[in-house]
Structure formats: structure tokens, C-alpha cells
């Protein structure tokens, strides 16, 4: 794709790979936002506010015309927000609480053009976990994969074996709902060469080569 430079206000390798696979001229500039400063009323509001803070923090230092993208993902079980586990014991507790239940994954998305306003949206996906065995749980924890993931699992990795089903955008659970993002970007960048798919499930047919998650180890 041609057009303005897209700046990703996140260090997430998963978000970076999604945007790179879409063909954007991409620069990664992680924000310095203190995520503990947010005190929103709902998980959805928290995700949107954090995405906004990340984008505006990075956009302030960018040349006029640069388009900055930011996102924040929260995992919610009942009224409890699950962050990233501190250690294996924490990961075990999180995954045990999710086992056999349905939880929500909410990602707030923000797009801002440097020197201009900010566009905001959010996406929510329901994920139901299998009633996986204690052996499966311990094997997964030993893999190390849960350690840097909200909710202590990665649906695009080995964690997929713990998931029974999901309803909604798969990309959202990975950390960046692409249809939601592209609807915002379309207001800032000419995306005519890439028509928006109707659902997340269409992405394997829209991206060149294998779906990006098939390339990820």
C-alpha cells in the first residue's frame, strides 16, 4: 500500500506482524504511557482510553501527516480483568479460572494523524475455553507462552488447543481487530486497493500467501 507512514504505538510483535502483512510502510514507536493511570468505569472504556493515551503520546512527537495506530487488549472474566501473569503460579491461577468458561476479549483501537484528531473504536470477542486437563495446563505453562499474554494464553499459538470456540473476531483475540482498524484507517488513508472483508474469517483469503498466524511460531 502507498500513502502516509503508519506508526505503531506498541511494542507488540503480533500487532506489528499484522500491519506488516497488510503491506503498510510501518514504523514502530512504543508509547511511554503508564497504564496504571487509567481508572475507567468499564473494561471497554479502559481499553479505549489506553489506546487513546498510547496514540496521542506518540503522535505528539511525529511529523504532521504521519498516521499513528494504537491498541490495548483486556481479558475479562465476569467482572474481573485479567492482565499478564507475573509468574508461572499466576498463569496457572488465571488459566484455571478460565477453564470451561466463556470470557470476553476487548480491544480498544485508536488512529490519529499527527497534528489532527483521534478516531476511536473497540471490538469484543467471546472465547470459551475447553475443560482441559491438569496435564495440558502444566504442559502449556512449561512452554513459556503464557508469560507475556493477557489472560495467560495465545490463541494464535499453542494456546489454541485450550480453546473450545470463539464468537467474533479472531484477530481481536490476538490483539488487533483488523476490520475495526481498517474502518478507522480508511478515514485517513486511501485503502481502495484493499476492500474490507465482511468478517474476520475472510482474512485468510485477503492476505497474500498463508494467513499471518500460520507463519508465527
Q: What are the extents of the domains in the chain?
A: 6-215
**Which pLDDT value is given to residue 65?**
80
**Which pLDDT value is given to residue 52?**
94
**Which pLDDT value is given to residue 213?**
35
Residues 112 and 56 sit within 8 Å (Cβ to Cβ): yes
* CA dist., res. 59 & res. 67, Å (int): 8
pLDDT in tens, 71-93: 999 999 999 999 899 999 999 99
Question: What residues in the chain have per-residue pLDDT under 50?
Answer: 1, 193, 202-217
Residues 28 and 8 sit within 8 Å (Cβ to Cβ): yes
Strands (E), the chain: 6-8, 26-28, 67-77, 80-82, 102-113, 118-129, 163-167
**Which pLDDT value is given to residue 114?**
79
Catalytic one of 72, 87, 148, 190: 72
Q: What is the pTM of this model?
A: 0.85
CATH 3.30.230.10 for the 6-215 domain, yes or no: no
**Which pLDDT value is given to residue 117?**
83
34 given a catalytic annotation: no
**Which pLDDT value is given to residue 115?**
76
> What does the block give as the cell for 176?
488487533
**Which pLDDT value is given to residue 196?**
52
Residues 71 and 53 sit within 8 Å (Cβ to Cβ): no
* CA dist., res. 13 & res. 30, Å (int): 11
Amino acid at each position: 500500500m502507498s500513502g502516509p507512514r503508519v506508526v505503531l504505538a506498541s511494542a507488540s510483535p503480533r500487532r506489528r506482524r499484522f500491519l506488516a502483512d497488510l503491506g503498510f510502510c510501518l514504523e514502530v514507536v512504543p508509547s511511554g504511557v503508564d497504564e496504571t493511570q487509567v481508572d475507567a468505569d468499564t473494561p471497554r472504556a479502559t481499553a479505549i482510553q489506553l489506546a487513546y493515551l498510547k496514540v496521542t503520546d506518540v503522535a505528539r512527537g511525529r511529523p504532521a501527516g504521519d498516521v499513528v495506530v494504537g491498541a490495548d487488549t483486556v481479558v475479562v472474566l465476569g467482572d474481573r480483568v485479567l492482565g499478564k501473569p507475573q509468574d508461572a503460579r499466576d498463569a496457572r491461577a488465571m488459566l484455571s479460572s478460565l477453564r470451561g468458561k466463556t470470557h470476553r476479549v476487548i480491544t480498544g483501537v485508536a488512529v490519529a494523524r499527527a497534528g489532527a484528531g483521534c478516531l476511536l473504536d473497540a471490538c469484543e470477542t467471546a472465547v470459551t475455553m475447553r475443560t482441559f486437563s491438569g496435564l495440558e495446563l502444566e504442559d502449556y505453562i512449561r512452554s513459556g507462552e503464557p508469560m507475556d499474554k493477557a489472560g495467560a494464553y495465545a490463541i494464535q499459538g499453542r494456546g489454541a488447543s485450550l480453546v473450545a470456540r470463539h464468537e467474533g473476531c479472531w484477530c481481536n483475540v490476538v490483539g488487533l481487530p483488523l476490520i475495526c482498524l481498517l474502518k478507522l484507517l480508511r478515514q485517513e488513508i486511501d485503502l481502495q486497493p484493499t476492500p474490507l472483508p465482511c468478517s474476520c474469517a475472510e482474512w485468510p483469503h485477503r492476505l497474500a500467501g498463508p494467513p499471518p498466524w500460520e507463519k508465527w511460531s
